Amino acid sequence: MSAQWLKDAVFYEIYPQSFYDTNGDGIGDLNGITEKLDYIKGLGCNALWINPCFDSPFKDAGYDVRDYKKVAERYGTNEDLYRLFRTAHQKGMHVVLDLVAGHTSEEHEWFRESQKAEKNEFSDRYIWTNFCFEPADGLNYVAGESERSAAYVLNFFKCQPALNYGFYRVNRPWQKPMEHPAAIATREALKDVMRFWLSHGCDGFRVDMAASLVKNDDDQKTGTSAVWHDVRRMLELEFPDAVMISEWADPPQALRAGFDIDFYLNNRYNGYSTLLRDYDDPEREDHSYFKKDAGGNINRFLDTYLRWYEDTKEIGYISLITCNHDTRRPAYTLTEDELKLAYAFLFTMPGVPFLYYGDEIGMKYQEIPTKEGGYFRTGSRTPMQWDSNENLGFSTGDKEDLYLPVDPSPDAPTVASQESDPSSLLHTVREILALRGREKELQADGAFSVICSEPGRPFVYRRGDLILAVNPDSAEKSLPIAAGNRKIIYKIGKASLENGLLKLGTQSFTVLK
């Protein structure tokens, strides 16, 4: 079962180049994260997920790793990261790094050696066909760029050659089985990287594209799961408190593969997207559940979530996110009042929640040109907005040197402006997370069941002995409820409980104890 510290964990995701710049070069750095730990803990977050901070040519924002054991110079040094680990631990916080397991940069030393015509120990550490004009059997590939007369397989962008973990089904002479020495060497190299950072104080890893390792895998990802089980055994023996979090978006598979947490991500039209982001197709109306009077239906989310929850609640956690570096910020379409309800829901559901930096103040999605392979995602990666000073407090550097431009809007939300407003989104986030911290039944493994999900009525659910209800619409709603001697201990908007009738005012949320 998962590390015990996850039970009350709330993660704060940090895109390091955009969080806080301490040396005035226009790019966020690790010392900036260390400096802001008290702010993060004050939100109610006690764990960090830091997007890739390793040496990279940054063709894909660090998801193209050139050296797994070296911090990228623009963020600082290895010692800066070790200091961040130590300081976070002193404050009772944990730090998880982003691990890109399925590919490296094309500039990685391993790949440079693999490209050579002469056979060497790295020749088969990536996936190559046997001839420069031989295609890769349905996989994306590149040919004509290497000394070696072969084509190599890609894992995502052109800059990201796929590491060789073997093929579950071998259909071509150039495909290596999972037990091939090169595939085993790749797996051992991955464990070596993990050991390196864990021995210096890292608390675990969020694994990028975790389902992408073994090729020609079956629908259950049996081969890839076997790799992760092998990694899990190493962790259990050597680092039993370390956690693994997967970007898999299929909790029944991921948690059975040895991960502690899997995300419910925003795949198009899925249940999670119907909560906040039901707008991907311009031909369709936006019926996001938390968008006021949009006609949303919570069952579009619950249909999948409940099945996954019942299947996995004894083996790990499903994580819900406010946003991440790949997703348009929720303020793209939701107002502050709508965000308050959405966050109240996300932070009181089972599992381990993730808050993306800046979402706590309702940072806006920016329509800006692509940067480092971000494309539409770039608009969610802009600098954190701390105050009304130069560059909104992100950096003392010149405006033209900033990693990305700050929000130019005169009403751009900032931490400082919301600190002074007790009705702000920032204060609401703190209140909800403080409530989650106090009430153990709201934490990761507290029991969960649905009381009412009928369209047109409040959504009412139970966490342990607590009853929670949300009304995202403008019309007042009521529901007879067997509340016993429970009292309202928290509310957003208007809520009352009288003679067994729960009344919820416009855009409201409440917790009964």
As a whole number of angstroms, the distance between CA 380 and CA 241 comes to 32
**Tell me, what's the pLDDT at 280?**
76
* Contact call for residues 331 and 362 (beta carbons, < 8 A): yes
Is-contact 76 29, C-beta < 8 A?
yes
For the question of whether the overall pTM of this predicted structure is more than 0.85, the answer is yes
Pairing between strand 94-100 and 47-50?
parallel
For 376-422, the pLDDT digits (tens) are 999 999 999 999 999 999 999 999 999 999 999 999 999 999 999 99
Name the token pair of 367: 């329509």
Kindly tell me if the per-residue pLDDT of 284 is higher than 90: no
pLDDT tens digits, residue range 71-106? 999 999 999 999 999 999 999 999 999 999 999 999
Percent of the chain with pLDDT over 70: 100
Cβ-count burial of 499 within 10 angstroms (0-12 exposed, 13-18 middle, 19+ buried)?
exposed
Strands (E), 64-111: 67-71, 94-100
pLDDT of residue 1: 56
Residue 282 has pLDDT above 80, yes or no: no
* In the predicted structure, residue 345 carries a pLDDT above the cut 60: yes
pLDDT tier for residue 50 given thresholds of 50, 70 and 90: very high
Q: Which position has the token pair 């390793």?
A: 54
Domains and CATH numbers, the chain: 4-100+265-440 (3.20.20.80), 103-162 (3.90.400.10), 447-512 (2.60.40.1180)
How far apart are the C-alpha atoms of 200 and 362, rounded to whole Å?
35
Rounded to the nearest 5°, which phi and psi values hold at 467? -115, 130
3-class DSSP assignment, residue 339: helix
Residue 272: per-residue pLDDT: 96
Model pLDDT for residues 439-452, shown as the tens digit of each residue: 999 999 999 999 99
Q: Which residues are paired to 14 by β-bridges?
A: 50
Averaged pLDDT for residues 500-508: 96
Return the pLDDT at 507.
98
Confidence band of 23 (pLDDT split at 50, 70, 90)? very high
pLDDT tens digits, one per residue of 167-217: 999 999 999 999 999 999 999 999 999 999 999 999 999 999 999 999 999
Mean pLDDT of 205-234: 98
**What is residue 215's DSSP assignment?**
B
**For the residues of 364-432, what is the DSSP string, one character each?**
PPP-----TT-GGGGGG-PPP---SSGGGGS-SS-GGGSSSPPP--TT---HHHHHT-TTSHHHHHHHH
Please write the tens of the pLDDT for every residue from 456-487.
999 999 999 999 999 999 999 999 999 889 99
Neighbours of 127 (CB within 10 A): 28
pLDDT of 268 > 90? The answer is no
DSSP state of 282: T
Is the separation of the CB atoms in 132 and 143 below 8 Å? yes
